[in-house]
Amino acid sequence: MSTLVIVESPTKARTIRNYLPRDYRVEASMGHVRDLPQSATEIPANVKGEKWAQLGVNVDADFEPLYVVPKDKKKVVTQLKDALKEADELILATDEDREGESISWHLYQLLKPKVPTKRMVFHEITSDAIKKALKNCRNIDEQLVRAQETRRILDRLVGYTLSPLLWKKIAWGLSAGRVQSVAVRVLVSRERQRRAFRQGSYWDLKATLTPPDSLKGESFMSQLVTLGGTRLANGGDFDPATGKIPPDSKVILLNQEQAEALKERLTGKTWKVTDIEERPVTRKPAPPFTTSTLQQESNRKLRLSARDTMRIAQNLYEQGYITYMRTDSVHLSEQAIAAARDCVEKLYGKNYLSPQPKQYTTKSKGAQEAHEAIRPAGSTFRTPQETGLSGREFQVYDLIWKRTVASQMADSRQTQIIVQLLVEDAGFRSSGKRIDFPGFLRAYVEGSDDPEAALEDQEVILPNLKVGDSPNCSDLEAIGHETQPPARYTEATLVKTLESEGIGRPSTYASIIGTIIDKGYAQLVSNALIPTFTAFAVTELLEKHFPDVVDPSFTSKMEQTLDDIATGEAAWLPYLKTFYLGDKGLETLVKEQENQIDANVARTVELENLDAKVRIGKYGAYIEKENGDDVVTASIPKDLTPADLDPQKVETLLRQKTVGPEQVGRHPETGEPIYVLIGPYGPYVQLGDKTEENPKPKQASLPKGVTPENVTLEQAVGLLSLPRTLGVHPATGAQIQANLGRFGPYVVHNQSGEKDYRSLKAGDDILTISLERALELLSEPKKGRSTTNSKSKAALRELGSHPEDSEPVNIYNGPYGPYIKHGKTNARIPEGVSVDDVTLASALEWLASKASTAKSTRKTTSKSRSSNSKSTTKSSSTTAKKNNRTKNSERASP
């Protein structure tokens, strides 16, 4: 008897194969094998003429989805069907969450097995887990499938109904999404707060004190907190909307002059310790990781995006290193607790072990998915060093291992020490912290890579002072402070906010954040998600005309309903009918609102305190202002954020259009004027005027730190002279140049067309860097950059040469994940397939599919589409109705 086992990916198949008997054959489905059509080319000819075909859901036939097998999955399906012919039993062993359940159901519908079929689920890929799962197979969970299908249909209805409206009213290519649009609104709301923020300033004193002569100890810091018994103002006392302290606040606000005068008055006076308070504090370890907390901590510690974190975690799971990584649960099995406690005892000693095993309770809204937290796999935990992992995989495993082990360690015991001091009528405070027993902090400190260093950083040791002691003041300094606007969201804080609000599910956050960036709704700058002007325009339109779509509470209730469908507590069809077709349903609202939305208004971003309009155009955001009888426009630089666009910047951008660009001076050799201008990509200098004889005058971007206000003539001349030839490489005889590029200043070694680049470092000047310094930089190992320009970086894998032109076929890591490249053709790697599993044959197939799709798309005309629709409308209507009746009857499960 032979058994066919189907999983999602070749890596998972390879790992599972090690734990199954020899007569078990394991194959991979490469992720989903069926889905709603992604493009018009995927819509079957028999339904192309139907009005619902583009939507992919027949809303008039009980929301029957139109499932198709994507072109790149047809060969996989054929191979699985061939494998099934030789099997006496079929086991569907896809992941245990809703997506995995759905993949198993689609496989069952496509393969139509005539042999006994079972559903096998497991939380980790270990020998014990697989053997246990084989003995406890079940049927496909219809409720989970229906919940996933309802979620998929709902997302399609929102996206495909609202996105075309955004194309018409704002700009082509935009998209709306059930969770995506709410997440964008969260970013926009924070940017609005930053825009409305008004800065306030305050001063205080900081003293450096040393213990009395009779005591030993290091110097310590003390902060001014009261004056004449009244509390001193701090940042929290300011109204962010005015930048001032409310009149009824009972605090003292010092300006610079007052602070300096107080400093002079207190200098040389006697200090006295008036009170000492010691308070014991106990800190408990954080629970093991869920999908959300892993994404947050990975972003904070490793600077990994949510998408990269999930991709790496997926690889670790499929290779058998960790348990399933899509989970809302913080629960640990008894086996896992025993393994973690064993690690603690062996590595740290019994005194670091918690007295009793610690179990954690899930608190997030609508917790579901897998039944255990993310942890190292197995009944014993391999230390990170024992895994043989490297790079990012090692770092993520190390994070998971430490967090899991720390969860079973003893609490940290600390003592907070507050010392109050008085000098004349000025009250000062010194704060200290003593770690009496580090406990779990010995293994894991949130936000720190090195627990030992973090422990040292956390301790603030004060001298052994007593009330009445008189420490010596070695330095007294007046310090000015400015209040800060609310911080922008990072991926970590956005994920935390979405989860706390019950918006979406953690397993989808990676793709949601990726889409927000891909669609131009946010830029990721220094780990901060900065919404664009386009995000403002889309959010304003949705808030005004479709408020429920971007209402967090509405979206949260929707999420709860989807969870209720999964448990059978809610009916899916009535919910979809009400949401889409009801009197206040989405389809009805779009029809009502479309004619009421003025495209000119929709493309205009409302920003207070500006006498110019910000509009969204074909090439991005721009400023528009009336100038007499004319209208003046100017592009907004891509690095200028909505919160930072103020009247002064508007005036600067428009002035170069009305008055002309500002002249820095004249070139010392040619006598031509040199201008400083601001374009879509930021400020730059230009040599000479743009004329018919000189349509493309020489231009050069200003480097980081140089602004249009402070650029000098000497700098401008130097920038316009780039690239600078520094000399030749002593080993190759090839030229070495210095230049300024998209990612900043760099040096390049050009040898026979092969260019080797290195970025300049802090302290290096593009205009003065020497050949010796350039050679030093070029001798250092090259650091990779996440960019789509594969020519300037090393391939993840080299698959071989293309049989047609002998050009290389390689895998590169791009900003949206790994992809295959041959010449100018890029092809994505299908979901569920890891980089290590890609072969040259499969790569050639995906490249060919991508090339043929692009070719057919270019050839397709609206005329041919129209004729196809007319010829098939009548027959397809009848066929569709027949399909609708039969598809529901196909829901029989094994």
Q: How confident is the model at residue 341 (pLDDT cuts 50, 70, 90)?
A: very high
Give the DSSP per-residue string, 59-82: TTTTTEE--B--GGGHHHHHHHHH
Q: What percentage of residues in the chain have a pLDDT greater than 90?
A: 61
Q: How confident is the model at residue 236 (pLDDT cuts 50, 70, 90)?
A: very high
Q: Is residue 200 over pLDDT 70?
A: yes
Q: How confident is the model at residue 794 (pLDDT cuts 50, 70, 90)?
A: low
Q: CA-based diameter of the chain, in Å?
A: 102
The token pair at 426 is 């000025």
Q: Which pLDDT value is given to residue 891?
A: 44
Least confident stretch, 59-68, 657-666, 792-801, 816-825: 792-801
What is the pTM (predicted TM-score) of this model? 0.80
Decide the pairing of beta strands 426-437 and 412-423.
antiparallel
Highest mean pLDDT among 496-505, 786-795, 815-824: 496-505
8 A C-beta contact, residue 332 and residue 373: yes
Q: Is residue 784 over pLDDT 80?
A: no
Calculate mean pLDDT across residues 23-29. Answer: 94
The token pair at 296 is 């947050």
Calculate mean pLDDT across residues 128-152. Answer: 93
Helix (H) or strand (E) holding 238: none
Decide the pairing of beta strands 613-617 and 630-635.
unpaired
The answer, yes or no, to whether the previous bond of 818 is cis (omega within 30 of 0) is no
Alpha-carbon dihedral sign for residues 309, 313, 314, 316: positive
**324 is a catalytic site residue:** yes
Q: Look at the block and give the residue holding tokens 């002998």.
A: 806
Q: Which pLDDT value is given to residue 889?
A: 38
Q: Is residue 493 over pLDDT 70?
A: yes
8 A C-beta contact, residue 366 and residue 290: no
The mean pLDDT value of the chain amounts to: 87
Calculate mean pLDDT across residues 248-275. Answer: 95
Q: Which pLDDT value is given to residue 793?
A: 59
Q: How confident is the model at residue 863 (pLDDT cuts 50, 70, 90)?
A: very low
Give the DSSP per-residue string, 23-63: TEEEEE--S-S-BS-SSGGGS-GGGTTSTTTTTTEETTTTT
Q: Is residue 736 over pLDDT 80?
A: yes
Q: How confident is the model at residue 608 (pLDDT cuts 50, 70, 90)?
A: confident
Buried b (16+ CB within 10 A) or exposed e, 203-225: bbbebebbbbeeeeeeebbbbbb
Q: Which pLDDT value is given to residue 630?
A: 85
Q: How many CB atoms lie within 10 A of CB 441?
A: 24
Q: Which pLDDT value is given to residue 871?
A: 43
Q: Which pLDDT value is given to residue 20?
A: 93
Q: Which pLDDT value is given to residue 869?
A: 43
- Angle at which helices 180-196 and 533-545 pack, to 10 degrees? 110
Q: Which pLDDT value is given to residue 214?
A: 77
Q: What percentage of residues in the chain have a pLDDT greater than 70?
A: 90
Helix (H) or strand (E) holding 315: helix 306-318
Determine the Cα–Cα distance for residues 185 and 508; give it in Å rounded to an integer: 17
SS3 label, residue 412: strand
> Which of the following is catalytic: 108, 324, 575, 812?
324
Calculate mean pLDDT across residues 637-648. Answer: 89
**CA 577 to mean position of chain CA atoms:** 34
Q: How far is CA 231 from CA 238, 253, 670, in A?
A: 14, 9, 64
Determine the Cα–Cα distance for residues 822 and 803; give it in Å rounded to an integer: 11
Determine the Cα–Cα distance for residues 454 and 259; give it in Å rounded to an integer: 34
Determine the Cα–Cα distance for residues 376 and 359; give it in Å rounded to an integer: 16
Calculate mean pLDDT across residues 724-749. Answer: 88
Calculate mean pLDDT across residues 719-728. Answer: 90
Least confident stretch, 316-325, 332-341, 502-511: 502-511
Least confident stretch, 117-126, 324-333, 495-504, 621-630: 621-630
The pLDDT tens digits for 748-772 are: 998 877 888 888 888 888 888 999 9
Least confident stretch, 202-216, 247-261, 450-464, 483-497: 450-464
Q: Is residue 368 over pLDDT 60?
A: no
8 A C-beta contact, residue 559 and residue 133: no
User: CB-based contacts of 456: which residues, under 8 Å, 6+ apart?
Assistant: none
Calculate mean pLDDT across residues 513-534. Answer: 93
Q: How many CB atoms lie within 10 A of CB 390?
A: 8
Strand order in the sheet with 662-666: 662-666, 673-679, 682-687, 699-701
Q: How confident is the model at residue 870 (pLDDT cuts 50, 70, 90)?
A: very low
Calculate mean pLDDT across residues 366-371. Answer: 52
Q: How many CB atoms lie within 10 A of CB 275?
A: 12
Q: Which pLDDT value is given to residue 401?
A: 97
Q: Identify the CA nearest to 404 among candidates 370, 360, 451.
A: 360
Least confident stretch, 132-136, 391-395, 863-867: 863-867
Q: Is residue 789 over pLDDT 50?
A: no
Q: Which pLDDT value is given to residue 679?
A: 80
More confident residue, 877 or 20: 20
Determine the Cα–Cα distance for residues 48 and 583; give it in Å rounded to an integer: 28
Calculate mean pLDDT across residues 345-374. Answer: 80
The token pair at 551 is 């209402």
Q: Which pLDDT value is given to residue 766?
A: 87
Q: How confident is the model at residue 795 (pLDDT cuts 50, 70, 90)?
A: confident
Which residues are 524's β-sheet partners? 529
The pLDDT tens digits for 542-570 are: 999 999 999 999 999 998 998 898 888 99
Q: Identify the CA nearest to 683 among candidates 717, 647, 716, 718.
A: 716
Q: Which 8-state DSSP code applies to residue 789?
A: -
Q: Where are the alpha helices (DSSP H) in 767-893?
A: 771-778, 840-859, 862-889
